[in-house]
Amino acid sequence: MTIDRAVLLFAGFMVLLSLALGFYVSPWWHLLTVFVGLNLVQASFTGFCPAAIVFRKLGCPAGVAFK
Protein backbone atom coordinates (compact mmCIF):
# COMPACT_ATOMS: atom_id res chain seq x y z
CA MET A 1 0.00 0.00 0.00
CA THR A 2 1.41 3.39 -0.98
CA ILE A 3 1.42 6.46 1.24
CA ASP A 4 -1.32 8.01 -0.92
CA ARG A 5 -3.70 5.14 -0.34
CA ALA A 6 -2.79 4.88 3.34
CA VAL A 7 -3.59 8.57 3.86
CA LEU A 8 -6.93 8.22 2.08
CA LEU A 9 -7.78 5.11 4.09
CA PHE A 10 -6.84 6.82 7.37
CA ALA A 11 -8.82 9.98 6.53
CA GLY A 12 -11.90 7.98 5.57
CA PHE A 13 -11.68 5.90 8.73
CA MET A 14 -11.35 9.04 10.88
CA VAL A 15 -14.38 10.66 9.24
CA LEU A 16 -16.52 7.57 9.78
CA LEU A 17 -15.27 7.18 13.36
CA SER A 18 -15.98 10.82 14.23
CA LEU A 19 -19.46 10.61 12.73
CA ALA A 20 -20.23 7.50 14.78
CA LEU A 21 -18.86 9.09 17.95
CA GLY A 22 -20.84 12.24 17.22
CA PHE A 23 -24.03 10.23 16.87
CA TYR A 24 -23.57 7.93 19.87
CA VAL A 25 -21.43 9.93 22.32
CA SER A 26 -21.49 13.69 21.78
CA PRO A 27 -22.07 16.05 18.83
CA TRP A 28 -18.76 17.73 19.69
CA TRP A 29 -17.01 14.79 17.98
CA HIS A 30 -18.14 16.23 14.65
CA LEU A 31 -15.35 18.78 15.08
CA LEU A 32 -12.94 15.93 14.33
CA THR A 33 -14.63 15.57 10.94
CA VAL A 34 -14.05 19.28 10.33
CA PHE A 35 -10.40 18.93 11.33
CA VAL A 36 -9.85 15.99 8.97
CA GLY A 37 -11.52 17.85 6.11
CA LEU A 38 -9.46 21.00 6.69
CA ASN A 39 -6.28 18.93 6.88
CA LEU A 40 -7.10 17.29 3.53
CA VAL A 41 -7.73 20.69 1.93
CA GLN A 42 -4.49 22.19 3.22
CA ALA A 43 -2.54 19.09 2.18
CA SER A 44 -3.88 19.42 -1.36
CA PHE A 45 -2.55 22.99 -1.56
CA THR A 46 0.72 22.68 0.36
CA GLY A 47 1.69 19.04 -0.03
CA PHE A 48 2.36 18.84 3.73
CA CYS A 49 0.50 16.02 5.48
CA PRO A 50 1.47 14.82 8.97
CA ALA A 51 -0.15 11.42 8.33
CA ALA A 52 2.02 10.97 5.22
CA ILE A 53 5.14 11.60 7.30
CA VAL A 54 4.04 8.95 9.81
CA PHE A 55 3.27 6.41 7.07
CA ARG A 56 6.64 7.12 5.41
CA LYS A 57 8.41 6.39 8.71
CA LEU A 58 6.38 3.18 9.00
CA GLY A 59 7.85 2.04 5.70
CA CYS A 60 5.08 2.64 3.17
CA PRO A 61 6.43 3.28 -0.32
CA ALA A 62 5.90 6.74 -1.78
CA GLY A 63 3.00 7.24 -4.14
CA VAL A 64 2.43 9.91 -6.74
CA ALA A 65 1.16 12.63 -4.39
CA PHE A 66 3.71 12.38 -1.56
CA LYS A 67 7.12 11.97 -3.23
Task: Tell whether the model's pLDDT for residue 14 goes beyond 80.
Answer: yes
Task: Tell whether the model's pLDDT for residue 54 goes beyond 80.
Answer: yes
The set of residues, in sequence order, having a beta carbon less than 8 Å from that of 16 and lying 6+ positions away, is: none
Give the burial string for 44-59 (b: 16+ CB within 10 Å, else e): eeeeebebbeebeeee
Element (H, E) at 19: helix 3-24
Its pTM stands at 0.86
Asked if residues 40 and 51 have their Cβ atoms less than 8 Å apart, the reply is no
